[in-house]
């Protein structure tokens, strides 16, 4: 086996230490001894659990297939309830959000974690979610939906400058549309009980995909509606982050990517010589691998043959640098909070989606959260 792949067991040990460092109260002392019940914080110096700490813990342990090992049914039930307690009266998971991501991202991420916690056949934590009344306007009125998509969070204000830029910072803004679509996909089975026949899910997804299909740049396979895109269309990392959040939904729903060859080539062109997409392993590496691999998989066989070697090099370079980076030093020195790690781990599992990936056996026992959830 390639020497980098041999570092996987070492990384798993580092992950256990990292997760333990984010545990609070008795959980830190009992980690690895007693079943754990989600008492985790985003930061290592806190004394009470919070939303992103609890959810990051689920995703991290799920990726490396330790979630079932360190929990039992009663502890998962309690973990899920702690996450559910972060839901507000409008349906958003807005409480105890120390990360600062939008309520749309937080809600999709929390619901994804509830799905991952459903280890046993009788565990249905998503069914305990309160009605998401916050979504009704954009699910039932096309004019409201269309106006929401056009603005995508744009507003005048300096409280969250990047988050207020809408399409001009699509990496962040895509959390809104992608997050809501992920929520709809994961809880649609609850709609009839909540609202009868008011919401037609298939029709809503037609709105969603039709709008995005119209607005994509066919030359890059990315959505580039920023004000500077009037003169500058070369793909950026910001474009990649935004595209991934939309393409996760395309893939989960089974809707064809609009321009898979272009999105694949745009993505690989953004990869650094090191194999990373930024300076350290994080969610953007999942985004890059996902856009490259899933786009490749949608190509006709003739184009797959033409691009196979290029995609293989990209994927192997990503796997090599993410593994070696995670093994190079304690994870607490790489990540200032718990939220950066799940994306890096999912980036490694994503590599195994590429046909014939040489190091798939190194992560054969790991799990991909996007196989069960619509969001990460």
Q: Give the tens place of pLDDT for each residue, 300-319.
A: 999 999 999 999 999 999 99
Answer yes or no: is pLDDT of 1 > 60. no
Per-residue pLDDT tens digits for 162-217: 778 999 999 999 999 999 999 999 999 999 999 999 999 999 999 999 999 999 99
Q: Is residue 68 part of a domain?
A: yes
Half-sphere exposure of 202 (CA within 13 A, CB side): 0
Q: Whole-prediction pTM value?
A: 0.97
CA dihedral over 146, 149, 150, 151, signed as positive or negative = positive
Q: Is residue 376 part of a domain?
A: no
Q: Is residue 247 part of a domain?
A: yes
Range of the domain at 69: 5-123+132-371
Q: Is residue 98 part of a domain?
A: yes
Check residue 27 and give its pLDDT. 86
CATH of the domain at 238: 1.50.10
Check residue 32 and give its pLDDT. 82
Residues 226/169, Cβ–Cβ less than 8 Å: yes
Q: Is residue 328 part of a domain?
A: yes
Answer yes or no: is pLDDT of 3 > 80. no
Q: Is residue 22 part of a domain?
A: yes
Percentage of the chain modeled with pLDDT above 70: 97
Per-residue pLDDT tens digits for 82-97: 999 999 999 999 999 9
Q: Work out how many domains the chain is built from and give that number.
A: 1
- CB neighbours of 264 closer than 8 A, spacing ≥ 6? 221, 291, 292, 295, 296, 299, 307, 311
Q: Is residue 262 part of a domain?
A: yes
Q: Which two tokens stand for residue 338?
A: 């718990």
Q: Is residue 49 part of a domain?
A: yes
């Amino acid at each position: 086996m390639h020497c980098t792949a041999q570092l996987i067991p070492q990384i798993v040990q580092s992950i256990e230490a990292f997760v333990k460092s984010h545990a609070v109260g008795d959980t830190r002392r009992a980690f690895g001894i007693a079943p754990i019940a989600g008492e985790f914080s985003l930061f290592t110096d806190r004394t009470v659990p919070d939303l992103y700490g609890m959810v990051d813990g689920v995703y991290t342990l799920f990726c490396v297939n330790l979630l079932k090992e360190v929990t039992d049914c009663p502890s998962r039930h309690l973990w899920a309830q702690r996450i559910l307690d972060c839901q507000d009266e409008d349906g958003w998971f807005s409480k105890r959000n120390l990360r600062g991501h939008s309520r749309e991202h937080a809600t999709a991420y929390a619901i994804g974690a509830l799905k991952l916690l459903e280890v046993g056949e009788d565990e249905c934590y998503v069914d305990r979610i309160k009605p998401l009344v916050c979504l009704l306007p954009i699910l039932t009125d096309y004019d409201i939906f269309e106006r929401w998509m056009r603005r995508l969070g744009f507003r005048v204000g300096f409280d969250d400058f990047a988050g207020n830029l809408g399409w001009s910072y699509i990496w962040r803004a895509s959390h809104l549309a992608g997050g809501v679509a992920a929520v709809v996909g994961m809880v649609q089975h609850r709609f009839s009980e909540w609202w009868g026949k008011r919401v037609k899910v298939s029709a809503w997804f037609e709105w969603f995909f039709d709008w995005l299909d119209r607005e994509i740049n066919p030359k890059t396979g990315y959505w580039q509606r920023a004000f500077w895109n009037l003169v500058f269309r070369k793909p950026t990392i910001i474009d990649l982050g935004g595209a991934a959040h939309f393409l996760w939904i395309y893939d989960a729903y089974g809707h064809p990517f609009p321009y898979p060859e272009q999105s694949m080539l745009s993505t690989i062109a953004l990869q650094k010589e090191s194999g990373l997409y930024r300076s350290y392993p994080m969610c953007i590496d999942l985004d890059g691998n996902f856009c490259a691999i899933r786009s490749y998989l949608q190509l006709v066989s003739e184009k797959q043959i033409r691009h196979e070697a290029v995609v293989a090099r990209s994927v192997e370079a990503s796997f090599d640098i993410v593994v070696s980076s995670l093994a190079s030093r304690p994870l607490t020195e790489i990540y200032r909070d718990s939220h950066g790690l799940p994306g890096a781990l999912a980036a490694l599992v994503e590599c195994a989606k590429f046909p014939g990936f040489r190091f798939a056996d190194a992560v054969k026992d790991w799990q991909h959260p996007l196989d069960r959830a619509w969001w990460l």
